[in-house]
Amino acid sequence: MDILTLSLLFAAATFIALFSGMPIAFAVGGVALVFMICFMPLAALSLVTETIYAELDNFTLLTIPLFVLMGAAIGKSRAGEDLYASLNRWLYRVPGGLGVANTMACSVFSAMCGSSPATCSAIGSSGIPQMRSRGYSEGLATGLIAAGGTLGILIPPSLTLILYGLATEQSIGKLFMAGVGPGLLLTVMFAAYVMWKYTREKRAARSSADASGDSSHALLQEEHYSWAERFESLPRFAPFLAVIAIVMIALYGGWATPSEVAGIGAFFSLLMVMAIYRCYRWADLRVILNGTVKESCMIMMIIGMSFLYTWVMSNLNITQEAAQWLVTLPIGKWGFFTAVCVLLLVLGFFLPPVAIILMVTPIILPALNAHGFDLIWFGVIMTIMLEAGLVTPPVGLNIFVINGIAPDIPLKAIMKGVMPFIVLMMLAVVLLTVVPGIAMWLPDHYQGS
């Protein structure tokens, strides 16, 4: 069987399995298993569990349950509500202020962890219900968090940029610096879109209220807070600021590695919720525990099984052949660049960012060098393309994380809600291509020091 037929078969099987209604984790695992049976030596079957285990046996990856615990402690207790109520007093005048705050929160959280699903889960578990209760549409609330979460792999520290740096022998420090500008750019673009969309949603709600006479829509509830009420809410930020301060000191003060910070954040968030919000009774704790294990198990299972899927795909050589074929095309520098971006986008439909970097980078690297691309700049472009993969169907980890946090919102609404953000990511790639300085200014200026 030639490689093209095999690839199409693999893609078709993936779509069928996923849309059959099988849980994502077991659908991708099942597809991998079937292709192993058909196209790989039978002995490989004895390595299934070992492959899954060996991939999970990675501390950086296993920070996800810890970040999920952190999110659940805040989101499943009164802490999250309290924080957003206080935030709202300060931001209610800004159109889409709460959405903007959530975008910022994703950015800040991304600066603490290198994982996108972790960012999604930690911010989304309180952010989504809060935005929903204030009238944001399902699509906007979930799309914003799903997309905001992808910043986790762009804003340093970033696991994918480390792997890219090792594969291309580029300075990881410079790559991290190059991720800052584009990370901020995307944050601003996302926030601007949220404000625009919010205004439109509010206008639509008003005109339908005028037509029906029913003005009970949450978006139309007029609020007013005096400065006294605002300042009164200030002490409520203190516990959160304390946790953030502990984490930041640990991370930047040389106490802990980025992965260890996950444990510190989780521990002190839980401690804060227990001490200040008095969640030490079993009735409160069980909600946090249940939420934590369900979500982290779901995410880790998808990640574990998708490694099996990745292994089979690598064994069948599909990704590598596609990249190889691309390299031989006579399409010039920018033709090649565009083709690589398309390849990354398509691979992103199915594979997680880490797998794509490991498989594709070694093959396209010589061509990138030959065409004279700056490898630091390209690392940022690649990361943004892979970010898009985290929110594109059929396999889009962030979408599934959001679905786990907000099970009442249909997947279709989340996917629709995230589309505009994908467009913004592509726009950012174009901007970075035209103005490389957005990424390169920082690393270029700090070269000496």
Name which of residues 335 to 354 contact Na ion (CB under 5 A): 348-349
CB of 175 to another protein, least distance (A): 10
CB of 215 to another protein, least distance (A): 30
CB of 145 to another protein, least distance (A): 15
Among Na ion, another protein, none, the one that 33 touches (CB under a kind-dependent 5 to 8 A) is another protein
Per-residue x/- marks for another protein, 40-79, CB under 8 A? -x-xxxxxxxxxxxxxxxxxx-x--xx--x----------
Q: Residues 231-268, buried b or exposed e (16+ Cβ, 10 A)?
A: eebeebeebbeebbebbeebbeeeebebbebbbbbbbb
Q: Which residue in 46, 12, 109, 28 sits closest to 302, CA to CA?
A: 28
Interface with Na ion includes 389 (CB under 5 A)? yes
Q: Residue 411's CB: how many other CB atoms inside 10 A? A: 15
Single residue of 60, 125, 383, 392 touching Na ion by CB under 5 A: 392
Q: CA–CA separation, 413 vs 128, rounded Å?
A: 13
Q: Which stretch binds Na ion (CB under 5 A): 110-118, 195-203, 325-333, 364-372?
A: 110-118
Single residue of 199, 208, 290, 447 touching another protein by CB under 8 A: 290
Interface with another protein includes 340 (CB under 8 A)? no
Q: Which stretch binds Na ion (CB under 5 A): 4-12, 124-132, 210-218, 385-393?
A: 385-393
Q: CA–CA separation, 183 vs 386, rounded Å?
A: 14
Q: CA–CA separation, 281 vs 332, rounded Å?
A: 65
154 vs 243, beta carbon nearer Na ion: 154
187 vs 269, beta carbon nearer another protein: 269
Q: Which residue in 28, 23, 15 sits closest to 308, CA to CA?
A: 28
Q: CA–CA separation, 239 vs 224, rounded Å?
A: 25
Site for another protein in 15-44 (CB under 8 A): 17-27, 29-30, 33, 41, 43-44
Compute how many residues bind another protein; rule: CB under 8 A: 102
Q: CA–CA separation, 54 vs 350, rounded Å?
A: 21
CB of 280 to another protein, least distance (A): 13
Q: Is the backbone of residue 372 left (phi > 0), alpha (psi -120 to 50) or beta?
A: left
